[in-house]
Amino acid sequence: MKTDIADDWQAFCASTFSAAIRPVLPKNCLPPFLPDPTAYRAVKLIALGKGAAAMARTVEQCWPDVAITGIAVCREGYGVQCDRVDVIESAHPIPDERSVAAAERALKVAADTKPDELLLVLLSGGGSSLACLPSDGITLETKKQLISSLLRAGADISELNTVRKHLSAIKGGRLAAAAVNAGHIVTLAISDVVGDDPGLIASGPTQADTSLWQDAQEILDRYGLERPRSWADDCAFVESNRSSFQIVAKAGDMLKAAENYAEALGFDVRNIGNDVVGEAKDVAEKHAAIARSHLEKNMDKPILLLSGGELTATVRGAGQGGPNQEYVLALAAAFGSDDGLYAFAADTDGMDGVGGAAGGISTPQSRKLAIEKAVVPEAMLAENDSLQYFKILDSSFTVEPTMTNVNDFRMIAIMPQGLTAH
């Protein structure tokens, strides 16, 4: 006998999340894009990002007889065993001395790549913090303070990485510039940025950048932050005839997999965008209105609203959580005691902001429980305390590190009483 999804929304969220990220896991998305290594005497590998170690291991498994050396720099806790590549765990989202050491080593691997060798660069979300080398005249402390302030102010990834590139000795094409003798540079990336701009993924260490230091300065001015005393020189030029770039997985792939999975279970799926950005609370308000508009119509099957992209959360309170949890908390406030409305959001890397959860879940039952426990979602929102809200209601979503990252995954189900999927 099939179980109604309305009766076990949490299990459905977990299974749909797994189905969604399956095609964007390194072992599934990377192999078709790997170049032919036999044209080179050896391969030097630099992997940066939350999926770095898993990407490096995939290359090792695909090329068992190839001479590979190099490094994979990943977030702490995201390391996996590699045999020929050194795995380094580093700091995220705020860099530290490990980030500096990792960046210096990456530059050395690039500089040591010879004309008859391939430099294979593998990028995924988080690489900007994990390998961080401030440019001359910029201290690590200055960079940490600026990035931390931008994060708390709700800056998006484009703004963050524009500033990072103009404070860096490795980003904005500078890693590729260090590989002056490399026969060829191939960059393969799992995109965690809206629009899939190669220059923003891990802050584009192998991509010539078109932004100027004045652009970075305007971003700091926008958020009322003090400018550094100096900026890095213009981003490095990268020769297109010896460097190539390819995105191997992106948010659209993840949402398509989720759509196929949910349709097979009986949902009428509406994809409302893989490029949704903005303040989590504001986006939740708009999505709640869409959900309510469907709830008021006659439906012959349940509707599932899917979205991706990257939300931000301006931190004004003393609580913990992340943009995905804040989004679901704002939906809980908007839905109130309405039956038939279910919500879920999580970061596809398995970690949403601060506190250890990947995301949050909301159902009519959990919202009623909140009323019984006198847990007021609006008050929790004011304190940016989404993590505690979901802990109290036992509706946090937690998973092991996924070793990939295509940013947010969000679902809203409209399932009036008597109408559900299986």
pLDDT tens-digit readout, 52-93:
999 999 999 999 999 999 999 999 999 999 999 999 999 998
Contacts of 289 (CB under 8 A, 6+ apart): none
Under the banding of pLDDT at 50, 70 and 90, the label for residue 235 is: low
Tokens 């593998």 locate to 122
- At residue 344, the pLDDT reads 98
In contact, 132 and 100? CB cutoff 8 Å: yes
CATH of segment(s) 34-249: 3.40.50.10180
Burial class of residue 195, CB neighbours in 10 A (0-12, 13-18, 19+)? middle
pTM: 0.94
pLDDT tens, position by position, 239-263: 667 899 999 999 999 999 999 999 9
Q: Which CATH class is domain 5-22+252-414?
A: alpha beta
pLDDT tens, position by position, 161-215: 999 999 999 999 999 999 999 999 999 999 999 999 999 999 999 998 888 889 9
In contact, 270 and 305? CB cutoff 8 Å: yes
Beta strands 303-312 and 408-414, pairing class: antiparallel
- At residue 1, the pLDDT reads 27
In contact, 324 and 345? CB cutoff 8 Å: yes
Domain residue ranges in the chain: 5-22+252-414, 34-249
| Average pLDDT for 202-231 | 90
Which has the minimum average pLDDT: 146-150, 257-261, 326-330?
146-150
In contact, 45 and 85? CB cutoff 8 Å: yes
Whether residue 236 has pLDDT greater than 90: no
- At residue 3, the pLDDT reads 53
Under the banding of pLDDT at 50, 70 and 90, the label for residue 227 is: confident
